[in-house]
Structure 1
Amino acid sequence: MEVCCEPYPKQTQWLWRAICFMCTSRLEWKGSTKIAVEVEKLLCNTRLCNYIKRQSPGHQTSMVEGFHSLVNHFTPKMFAFSYSGMMCRTILAALHFNENSQRAQQATRAGNQMYSLHYPKYKQGGHIVRKVLDNATFGK
């Protein structure tokens, strides 16, 4: 959904309004209740809708892709797991991701931040600079 709406901010705003409508028209909330009116007022606020229209969702998927990669690491698709096994592995992946997603950047003893050079194939001999992060914790 994000990719198809990236160059079309009006469609993104329209999708947001559709989501707001679905949230406020649930069976538990009758359309005229005070809660439904307040939620609709908050979600369909003009400033919020304009802010959402200016969002660039294509550049905000890095963490989602990182989490998906970690889930694939914990639950590889080439093996079959029972429902409880898959659920446990997914929960374990979520716990690991939450613990290690905001790791700090490593620093030298002098206090300078550390970086490393990488040479990916798509750069064809060029390099990129990456931050060196603290080691991941594994339940220590």
Structure 2
Amino acid sequence: MEGLKRSIGLLRRNDLHLSTLITDRHRQVAKWVREELCPEGTQHYFDVWHIGKSLGKALDTASKDRQCEQLQLWRPAIVNHLYWTAASTPDGNPGVMEAKWRSLVNHIQDIHDHDTPAFSSCAHAPLEGDQRDKEWLEPGSMAAVKLEGIITRTSLLKDVRQLSPQHQTYSLEAFHSLILHFAPKHTGFSYQGMYSRLLLAALHYNHNANRETARRSDGLERYSVRYPRFRKGAWVVVPIKEKASYGYATSLIEALRESYMDSPKALQEVSANLSACAPAPIAKSFEQIPKEEAVSLYLAQQSRYKKLN
């Protein structure tokens, strides 16, 4: 939360306006964005993955009931429908997304025409033969009733209306993971060191973010099959990307060498200015207590503890 506020403050100081913001559905963040940014014209969306994860947990819980075991078979399709709801609505129209999501209640009971003008019928062709691998839910059955309760939950419907239709947060999360490669948490760095490593991480990410899929000797693309823990045994196919390139490092070293050769003092001044901008340690922002007083209070506390024992 504090990081978001600082980032928005930085944008405002540089006269930059945030047109679109995509986050998880943290309620405190959503409230702050609604009150502080939305009046300025910022559009706030929720990342689909986070809502899909919560939805999957609700379905897992419901399917534990013996009368609702069918829901476990429908779980992947229901979560996929959530993704489709967002991806098939590129303009992010909240009414259309809600109508598409609500249509799942009918679809899963083999009803494909709906009484909502925004989405009057399912978009798929008739499902017959091999296209059907799950039994439809019986209208009025315990499984159908419980699923409808999950799908039409007020809080979920509000979140669906804010699903991000085109972009998600996974690229940012990948960048944060990359930062740990350049600045691992188990090592402390100075302000200059951390600043430099963050810049290097950004350069590396931007240079390698759009790598092509690697190819075999016969020209076919390479893929791997993985079993993520959160999929609980289900497999996923992942394209194997080409190896990362570090060409940016050579260009950076050459640029620094030329800058130093042309003006050594100018480069030293830049380093000095960066050091001068280093913020004070966090401990300095708190009120300091004299050491003698702190030790006295500590000894008094220890004395009381010994008497109790």
TM-score using structure 2 length: 0.30
Deviates more, 1:100-109 or 1:12-21: 12-21
CA distance in 2, matches of 1:73, 1:124: 28
**Match for residue 201 of structure 2 among 93, 96, 100:** 93
Equivalent positions of 1:88-127 (< 5 A) are 88-127=196-235
Report the Cα offset of residue 15 of structure 1: 6.6
CA distance in 1, matches of 2:181, 2:222: 27
Instruction: Classify 1:123/1:52 alpha carbon distance in 2 versus 1 (closer, same or farther; 3 Å).
Output: closer
Report the Cα offset of residue 57 of structure 1: 3.5
CA distance in 1, matches of 2:222, 2:168: 25
**Match for residue 18 of structure 1 among 9, 18, 39:** 39
Report the Cα offset of residue 120 of structure 1: 2.3
Q: Is residue 171 of structure 2 the alignment partner of residue 63 of structure 1?
A: yes
User: Could you list the runs of 4 or more consecutive aligned residues of structure 1 that deviate by over 6 angstroms after TM superposition?
Assistant: 12-15
CA distance in 1, matches of 2:209, 2:202: 10
Listed as ranges, the gaps of 5+ residues in structure 2 are: 1-21, 28-32, 43-90, 95-161, 251-309
Q: Which structure has more RCO (C-alpha within 8 Å, separation ≥ 6)?
A: 1
Report the Cα offset of residue 18 of structure 1: 2.4
CA distance in 2, matches of 1:57, 1:69: 22
Q: Which residue of 1 aligns with 2:236?
A: 128
CA offsets per residue over residues 21-77 of structure 1, 9 Å max, x none? 8xxxxxxxxxxxxxxxxxxxxxxxxxxxxx466563396001000001111221122
Secondary structure (helix, strand or coil) at the match of 1:4 reads: coil
- Conserved 8 A contact 2:23-2:169: no
CA distance in 1, matches of 2:164, 2:180: 23
CA offsets per residue over residues 54-101 of structure 1, 9 Å max, x none? 563396001000001111221122221111000000000000001111
Listed as ranges, the gaps of 5+ residues in structure 1 are: 7-11, 22-50
Give the number of aligned pairs.
108
Q: Which residue of 2 aligns with 1:2?
A: 23
AA at the equivalent of 1:100: N
Instruction: Classify 1:19/1:79 alpha carbon distance in 2 versus 1 (closer, same or farther; 3 Å).
Output: farther
- Conserved 8 A contact 2:92-2:164: no
Q: Which residue of 1 aligns with 2:298?
A: none
CA distance in 1, matches of 2:93, 2:182: 36
Q: Is residue 73 of structure 2 the alignment partner of residue 73 of structure 1?
A: no
CA distance in 2, matches of 1:112, 1:14: 51
Identity of aligned residues (%): 34
Larger Rg: 2
